[in-house]
Amino acid sequence: MPFITTPDGTDIFYKDWGSGQPVVFSHGWPLNSDAWDVELKLAADNGFRAIAHDRRGHGRSAQTWDGNDMDTYAADLAALADTLGLDTIILVGHSTGGGEVVRFAARHGAGRVAKIATVGAVPPVMVKSASNPDGTPIEVFDAIRAGVLADRSQYFKDLSEQFFGINQGSGVSQGQRDQFWRLGMQMSLKAAYDCIEAFSETDFTEDLKALDVPVLICQGDADQIVPIGDAAFKAIDLVKQGTLKVYKGAPHGIAGTYQQKLDQDLLEFWRS
């Protein structure tokens, strides 16, 4: 299996399919690069070089004790881009991965990022605070931490219902729910726990403002994991060259008819 090694000695697993302009995908919590397989094939089938990595602590990458934070995640992505010699990169990030690609582009992407697409992404910031009074209360994220610690396996099985909007009649299959659980159980407990703070409390406001390339911001308006009012609707006002795509009735998880529509829009954006 292909790996790169970051400057701090962490082995990061990645997939590298096809050839052409690179499209680099970053996955959400608690998943790994397998979550992007359909989109990886879509990109490679259409003349792009499709690349996706397992974030440290996730999937097949090293389960480090330290570095489960957004700055390190972005630095790991920079190490991947450096090692593979990537330029004119198209970035695609879902959920936590949306935060990762935005931070990477703002801090490491000058001159080598061509465009960015985010999907149900966490920027600008999720948690409620004095400066973000309509955010999600910290108690919600404390409950996620408690669920992960108490019974991670059952917690992921239960979370898949909201993740895919099963309780809203999305019709997503049991197989998709099982895959969510399977990928989640591959990550380390430490990464699962620490990443909750990374995706909920990191403020990406200045990162979004710094972006100087086209940004496609996609999100379902029935997202129960990352509320669209705190995410896409705010992020679009912070980027210079933004396009907002809202998917009526779509959940957080990328599956079913939502995935089909999203993939059409992503391909059109990559080609534009």
Domains of the chain, start order: 3-271 (3.40.50.1820)
Dist. CA 220–CA 119, nearest whole Å: 9
Catalytic residue among 27, 53, 58, 252: 252
Compute the 3-state secondary structure of the chain and give helix, strand, coil in percent, each to the nearest 5: 45, 20, 35
pLDDT at position 56 is 98
Answer yes or no: 95 catalytic.
Answer: yes
pLDDT at position 258 is 98
CB 267 within 8 A of CB 253: no
Answer yes or no: 94 catalytic.
Answer: no
Dist. CA 2–CA 96, nearest whole Å: 23
pLDDT at position 61 is 98
HSE at residue 226, side-chain half, CA atoms within 13 A, is 32
Q: Rounded to 5 degrees, what are φ and ψ at 239?
A: -95, 150
Catalytic residue among 54, 207, 223, 230: 223
Dist. CA 136–CA 200, nearest whole Å: 9
Tell me if the pTM is above 0.75: yes
Per-residue pLDDT of the chain (272 residues; tens, 9 = 90+): 799 999 999 999 999 999 999 999 999 999 999 999 999 999 999 999 999 999 999 999 999 999 999 999 999 999 999 999 999 999 999 999 999 999 999 999 999 999 999 999 999 999 999 999 999 999 999 999 999 999 999 999 999 999 999 999 999 999 999 999 999 999 999 999 999 999 999 999 999 999 999 999 999 999 999 999 999 999 999 999 999 999 999 999 999 999 999 999 999 999 99
Answer yes or no: 8 catalytic.
Answer: no
Does the bond joining 124 to the residue before it have cis omega, within 30 degrees of 0?
yes
Single out the residue of 27, 138, 112, 140 nearest to residue 73, CA to CA: 27
Q: How far is residue 204 from each of residues 69, 81, 92, 121, measured CA to CA in Å?
A: 13, 21, 16, 11
Catalytic residue among 33, 61, 95, 200: 95
